[in-house]
Amino acid sequence: MREHDGPATQVEINIASQTLAVVENCETTHIFSVSTAGNGAGEENGSFCTPRGMHIIRAKIGHDAPANTVFIGRRPSGEIYHPELRQKYPDRDWILTRILWLSGCEPGRNRLGSVDTMRRYVYIHGTPDEVEMGVPGSHGCIRMRNQEVIFLFDLLKVGTPVLIDE
């Protein structure tokens, strides 16, 4: 990781290494394996790519929800994920446990118009345990293990900076 100037706590997501790092007071304190977009990096609406640049956590959704809670449209569906549910709905993009909704900070790059990260519904969220981490595979979001996204959710505040870089 590189030297940091800036906020006391921030998140750095590296698309090439498929990692998410928590940086506190200029020191990397946690590194997690993640899965970003199968289509790679990109900002355009409908691209199903992971957007680059500076973001913030705009909203936190799912406080105290049980692990593996299924979210549809950012609301708990009433379901708890299990492999049989996946067999019943094989084409579902599983958003589980917690949602950290990202908002771009760079107008024309990842904010406003056809490149707006928040309007693209890009999140850091939980995923089924059988989904492989460390390889791209999402539809644009940043997928994490459920227990790790719970830890991150509890650690971070709304407004925390999130840098997504290649």
Tokens of 162: 């999130």
Cβ atoms within 10 Å, residue 91: 5
Q: What is the pLDDT of residues 112-140, one digit of tens each?
A: 999 999 999 999 999 999 999 999 999 99
Q: What is the pLDDT of residues 55-72, one digit of tens each?
A: 999 999 999 999 999 999
Task: Check if CATH label 2.60.40.10 holds for domain 9-165.
Answer: no
Query: Angle at Cα 73 formed by Cα 71 and Cα 78, nearest 5°?
Result: 40
Give the pTM.
0.94
Buried b (16+ CB within 10 A) or exposed e, 111-127: beeebbbbebebbbbbb
* Strand residues in 42-131 grouped as ranges (E): 53-61, 69-72, 75-80, 95-104, 123-126
Residue ranges per domain, the chain? Answer: 9-165
pLDDT above 70 for 6: no
